[in-house]
Amino acid sequence: MQTQSTTLVVIGGGPGGYIAAIRAAQLGIATILVEGDQLGGTCLNIGCIPSKALIHAAEEFEKASHYAQGSSLGIQVSSPSINITQTVSWKDGIVKRLTGGVGALLKKNGAQVVKGWANIIDGKTVAVMQDGKEITRITCQHLLIASGSTAVELPFMPFGDKVISSTEALAPTEIPKKLVVVGGGYIGLELGITYRKLGAEVCVVESLDRILPVYDEELTKVVKTALKQLGIEVQLGVTVQGMNATNTAVRVKNAAGEESEITCDKVLVAVGRRPRTQGFGLESLMLDMNGRAIKIDDQCRTSMRDVWAIGDVAGEPMLAHRAMAQGEMVAEIIAGKRRHFIPAAIPAVCFTDPEIVVVGLSPAEAQANGTEIISAMFPFAANGRAMTLEANEGFVRVVARKDNHRILGWQAVGKSVSELSAAFGLSLEMGATLEDVAGTIHSHPTLGEAVQEAALRALGHALHI
């Protein structure tokens, strides 16, 4: 068994962990990253990237199917088909290139990668395991925990056979005739829409009284309309009881206590994710916790000196870009720089069709803080570029202080609005006012013009509505 010594050990090679390791190595910090699976973590391997690839493939197939039924654009095609095995292979190719790129970047910058599963001995020592055997032991000055999260499993409906998580949903060998999605959050809806476009009948079951409950209803009602147009059945206020005796249907109960069954070929359980805190000796550190997550301060320090935590294991929001920013910051703090994690806002995107993006405060959130606000929206129905894309559903909305017009938040729903998130985030980080955005010349014709028009409308003089 080998023994190594280093300045920084990073547990987990996901977006937060690999960014931390790269930045630390760039700053001259001796760094070892321990990862038992593929570099890139959930995001690159079984999350963000493969899901967006499958979403794109489904959109293209659905578009071809739409054209086969006639199109106002004059496009005519014969009945399309899809080879799902080839689609998954294409998706896997993207994942392989990206994860390989991560490995190359770590090597290029001088960060060492040790393949194996970390097991924490104490705050300064990590054992690395392979096939149940310890292959090396690493001592360190700083320990960074970036272990990510795992899909929540329902105890009465464990994963296996017909019941799948998002991981299995992203690697289908065939498209089920009927899919039941348990959970109306962003993961369930993104994949439910994808499977519907690939030809499956889809039923979404949500225990609350509306879909996407973390987003405000003005945004989600646009998505709800789109679900109906796609032919996706949505049952709200319904709780899942488990599979029936013959394993051919999901048993559900409505608010009145009435039980029924929904027949299906597959069941996708997408009821959330939880921090990955089990199975690698974390409990030995006896860290302060925030529920199931590791409690951290605004520098990602835990309750133990020189032990840090970033990303999903440190709780909400569980977003890859948050983990990346935290990882970069921790590396710089260890290198002696003064940093704190106090972003003006962290964008959140839901890649449904249409997409949703929110940055900063909604009108309700701002008003709940006692702030007097100005809020205005600009519909894509009045945007030329949206019309040329056959995507005039949705809107951009801005929220600003009434007294000094400083922008507090942005929300948008519509085709490709995820690409507006950078502009939204930048305006908040720079402390922009409505006048700043309204006075900035936006390219024509683009969806971004709706950003300028929303600011203009908040000031009382929109030009195109």
Tell me: cis bond preceding 317? Omega within 30 of 0 counts: yes
Cα distance between residue 239 and residue 205, in whole Å? 7
Measured between alpha carbons, how far apart are the two ends of the chain, in Å? 71
Cα distance between residue 211 and residue 207, in whole Å? 9
Residue 56 annotated in active site: no
111: closest CA among 10, 2, 42, 5?
10
β-pair partners for 204: 181, 234
Q: Which residue has the tokens 């690698």?
A: 280
**Cα pseudo-dihedral 180, 186, 192, 193, rounded to 10:** 150
| Beta strands in 156-258, from DSSP E residues, in sequence order | 163-164, 178-182, 201-206, 233-236, 239-243, 249-253
| Beta strands in 402-465, from DSSP E residues, in sequence order | 407-414
310-to-193, 244, 275, 278, 338 alpha-carbon distances in Å:
31, 41, 11, 16, 17
Catalytic residue (one of 340, 442, 444, 464): 444
Residue 285's identity, in one-letter code, is: L
Backbone torsion region of residue 49, taken as left when φ is above 0, otherwise alpha when ψ lies between -120 and 50, otherwise beta: alpha
Which helix (H) or strand (E) segment holds residue 113: the answer is strand 112-115
Residue 406's identity, in one-letter code, is: R
Give helix then strand counts, H and E, for the chain. Answer: 13, 24
Q: How, if at all, do strands 273-275 and 112-115 pair?
A: unpaired
CB within 8 Å of 246: residues ≥ 6 apart: none
Cα distance between residue 377 and residue 464, in whole Å? 12
Which amino acids are annotated catalytic? Answer: 444
